[in-house]
Amino acid sequence: MIRADICAGAVLGVLLLCSPPTASGDQTPQTPQTPTARRPAPPPPKGQWPSQGFFSVDGGYQAHSFSFDEVHHDTTFVEESTWQANYKLRHGLSFGAAGGGRVWRNLVIAGAYSYARDDNPAAITGSIAHPFFFNQFRSISGESPDLRQDEHGLHVSAMWMIPVNRRFEIGIFGGPSYFWVTREFVKEVQFSSSFPFDTAVFTGVVAEKASASQLGWHAGADVTWLFTRDVGIGGLVRYTQASLDFSTPAGGSVSVDAGGLQIGAGLRLRFARKTPAVRPRPTPPGERPPVNAPPGAPGSMPATVGSSAVMLVDGPVFIRPDESRTPLRVLKQGTAIRVLEEQGDWVRIEFQDSQFGRRVGYVQRKNIRMIGK
């Protein structure tokens, strides 16, 4: 009898050792928690320029037309000979580049560089003393080769941007300008004569470069048509003005106007605001999320890149995550789409447009349902 009790106790001990331990106290399974969500930045207010900065390149021409003279006196054959150079400036090709950044709402501080070149001859007239007779001057006239002028300008602008719609923008600007100009001037007039030296013939000039710089001003407008959020084309109209004083190689001084009406067209680039990523908030224990919860809601299914979805309702597609803009298209309920990226309450999608083919845009997360989710 004692032996049977000993055997029963041994079997009970083995069973207790092999059985798994049970939870004690108030221990309950805990749902893993993820970092607290950060809400995305709201879209810019309606009428506010949506970009952070811009860069542009333009080619065109500078329209300016004016002339100036230089008169020079030399002693020849004991008498004073005189020659005069008449310079003309006309329309010339120009090039420019600009860039800037937004400092407040639609106010942009920008800097620009412009270059214009002019090539025109100078008309030469003169009165040359006679080698044998006093007060018997010989007249000469002719034209020099093309004399080159290179004009460089730096322009600092305060620009106010006006977004007319999601594609068309206008910028009004003005401010100070700094010019430095290098141009060729006539240093010496050349002529020839032969016995009996009663006439003289113009044969050419000796030209030399001179430089000058001066502060001026500018004002203008820039228009932009965007193909995408960041790339487009545009046109520029800018008037610049400054007056520069040159010391000429012939020993005189002249005043030359720089600038004029600049008209150009070229490439426009925009640097747009980026929406910060959204991290989901923790799901409290025991809470069940709604079926079609937006991203960031407790337990919502992420809209993974490349996954398929359908429209739950008729919903608009925007070029940017901004309800105030004009929609690209309104997709019908049940339309199949492909998810490219998730940005807070918005999802960037790819869809098939019956008119333009494959297109990309943004829809609100609440308007779609992930297939298989």
321-333: per-residue pLDDT in tens? 888 888 888 999 8
Neighbours of 365 (CB within 10 A): 23
Span 79-105, average pLDDT: 90
pLDDT, tens digit, 9 for 90 and up, residues 335-367: 989 888 888 889 999 988 887 788 899 999 888
Q: Is residue 14 part of a domain?
A: no
82 and 156, same domain (yes or no): yes
In DSSP terms, which residues pair with 75 in a beta bridge?
80
- Within a domain: residue 195? yes
Residue 5 has pLDDT above 80, yes or no: no
Within a domain: residue 24?
Answer: no
**Model's pTM, two decimal places?**
0.61
260 and 316 in a single domain? The answer is no
For residue 75, being part of any structural domain is answered with yes
CATH of residue 364's domain is 2.30.30.40
Amino acid at 30: Q
| First and final C-alpha spacing in the chain | 66
Peptide bond into 285 cis (omega under 30): no
Question: Does residue 108 fall inside a structural domain?
Answer: yes
Question: Looking at per-residue confidence, does 155 or 81 come out higher?
Answer: 155
Pair (62, 123) in one structural domain? yes
Output the domain CATH number for residue 193: 2.40.160.20
Same-domain status, 322 and 197: no
For the residues 220-224, what does the mean pLDDT come to?
Answer: 96
Mean pLDDT calculated for residue range 285-309: 52
Mean pLDDT score of the chain: 81
Backbone angles phi, psi at 293, to 5 degrees: -65, 140
- List the beta strands (DSSP E) in 64-200: 66-76, 79-89, 92-104, 107-120, 123-128, 138-143, 147-163, 168-192
Q: Do 177 and 326 belong together in one domain?
A: no
**Domain match, 249 and 191 both:** yes
Domain identity same for 345 and 251: no
Average pLDDT over residues 209-227: 95
Which of the four pLDDT bands, split at 50, 70 and 90, describes residue 282? low
Asked whether residue 96 carries a pLDDT value surpassing 90, the answer given is yes
The DSSP H or E segment spanning 359 is strand 357-364
Q: For 133-159, what is each residue's pLDDT tens digit?
A: 888 888 999 999 999 999 999 999 999
Residue range 40-80, pLDDT digits in tens: 445 556 678 888 999 999 999 898 888 888 998 888 777 88
CA-nearest of 340, 343, 351 to 304 is: 340
Q: What is the pLDDT of residues 32-41, one digit of tens each?
A: 444 444 444 4
Both 213 and 347 in a single domain?
no
Shared domain for 219 and 327, answered yes or no, is: no
Query: Is the residue at 8 inside a domain?
Result: no
Confidence of residue 306 (pLDDT cuts 50, 70, 90): low
Helix (H) or strand (E) holding 201, with range, is strand 201-226
Within a domain: residue 3? no
pLDDT of amino acid 135:
83
Q: 351 in a domain, yes or no?
A: yes
What is the percentage of the chain residues whose pLDDT exceeds 70? 78
Question: What is the token pair recorded at 156?
Answer: 């600092």
Same domain, yes or no: 263 and 325:
no
3-state secondary structure of 196: coil
User: Which domain covers residue 138, as residue numbers?
Assistant: 51-272
**Domain count across the chain:** 2
Confidence of residue 241 (pLDDT cuts 50, 70, 90): very high
Q: Would you say 178 and 215 are in contact if contact means Cβ atoms under 8 Å apart?
A: yes
Q: What is the pLDDT of residue 369?
A: 87
Mean pLDDT of 162-174: 93
136 shares its domain with 57: yes
Q: Are residues 197 and 329 in the same domain?
A: no
Place of tokens 């090039």: 95
